[in-house]
Amino acid sequence: MPKNISPKKLREILGNQSVRKRLAYEDPLWFGLIYLRHHFKDPFAPFHMEMFHLIQQTKHDLIVVMAFRGSGKSAILNTANVLWSILGKPQKKFAVVVSQTLGQAVDHFTNIKEELEHNDLLREDFGPFTERGSEWNNASLELVYHGSKIASISIEQGARGMKHGALRPDLIVCDDIESSDSAHEEAKREKIYRRFTSEILPLGNVDDTRVVLLGNLVCEDSLLMRLKARIKNGESDGIFRAYPIIDDEQRILWPGRYPDIESVEALTKLVPHEVWTREFLLKMLGSQKDSAVSIYELIVAESEGWKGFIASPLSYQLPLIPQMKEFRISVPFSRKMPTPHDAHKDDPLYLRYFGNVNLDTPLMSVQIASIRKFASEASVKKSLQQRIELSEARQKERDLRARAMVKYLETHVNPGRFKEWYENGGKDIESGLEQPKPREVEETVSEQLGKLLARINSIGKEN
């Protein structure tokens, strides 16, 4: 909730139509507070406010949100987002909601339809909501007064060429389009990914269509995880956010609903441990057969900028609003981790990432000293040394190749034309070459290259 707004002041705002309408038009958070408060029985949490911020920001048009089960993500990123984007400042004209099944598509559409039909305050401020013909009876409706349309479809339905008059969709919301079954079937995951990239994304225009995906953690190779990787690697311009029920230091993200750790722990008795870990903590656990895999190797493989064990290898998402600064949320790994067992109980890296899996286990902060102590173990030290040797060997190979190229240029290239090629920025190198003469590169260079390549291959096999 916006700061420094007392209940009395809020009542005054609600009682003044021009003020409340202006606030709701400009800000989706106020839109939700004023017209959709009945969707939230408990007070808004900071991460809810960050979700509203995601709706309002204009920097990214691809928004991927992974949140724990029962977090209220659909109420904000689906219902509130669609209504505010059409009635509020964005003034979107064609919104499409995509669901996993046709039944879910109808349910999402019904939630929006109920607000337009029966929310008296919303109708008073932003109506009339007159629909065209029989559209209201289908999973789509056309708001004649606003010149806009809302449609709800399933991921399985044909979506190519959807238009509202001459307009393509300018808001696409994909709400839980993956099922848990896809976690066990690669073919299903590929089908969903291909359908999203080849049919759903092309529905809109590249320059003005906002695409919002929300869901849970299905598996390490799910659509949301793939999009997270694309955003991280710069292949897609977007933003990814994760909201587990508790952060890495056992801070509860929604204290209005779960006031203490006991209330959170009660949920663990309602679902299997694997489901709790994946769908509430947003962390992947492997099977017992994966437990022999080194936790260090998995974390290091996922880290960026890992140098000499002097920095934490985990990636934490930066807060978008001040209210989220107190939370420490690690970004979900794109691979399964070994299940907890005694071999990992003293592993500081493991406890840092999985310290909130078992609520009876206190969290440990990853300090530099702990990392260095952990790195001193023989197996880890050997692995690190091999990596260093491999890197040094490859650098020597590059140096030798450079020396060989210089020798070749010195003996085969016309100096005058080579100078011209160099001053021209290295373009059209062929123009600087004469017919090569049958001359061998120095034998010592060739021999050294052979030895280094053999050493690199042997180290690679050891790793």
Domain ranges in the chain are: 41-243, 267-315+332-376, 390-462
- The pLDDT of residue 2 is 54
What is the C-alpha separation between 215 and 228, in angstroms, rounded? Answer: 13
- The pLDDT of residue 85 is 96
User: What's the pTM?
Assistant: 0.69
* CA 227 distance to own-chain centroid: 6
Q: Is the pLDDT of residue 11 over 60?
A: yes
What is the average pLDDT across 95-109?
Answer: 91
What is the C-alpha separation between 77 and 222, in angstroms, rounded? Answer: 20
Give me the phi and psi of 208, to 5 degrees please: -140, 15
Residue 72: closest CA among 92, 97, 43:
43
Query: Looking at the chain, how many residues does it have?
Result: 463
Q: Is the pLDDT of residue 108 over 80?
A: yes
What is the average pLDDT across 110-120?
Answer: 92
What is the percent of the chain where pLDDT is above 90? Answer: 34
DSSP state of 321: S
Specify the CATH class of 41-243 in words. Answer: alpha beta
Pick the more confident residue, 294 or 133. 133
Q: Which two tokens stand for residue 409?
A: 């240029």
Pick the more confident residue, 364 or 224. 224
Strand duo 148-154 + 239-243: pairing: unpaired
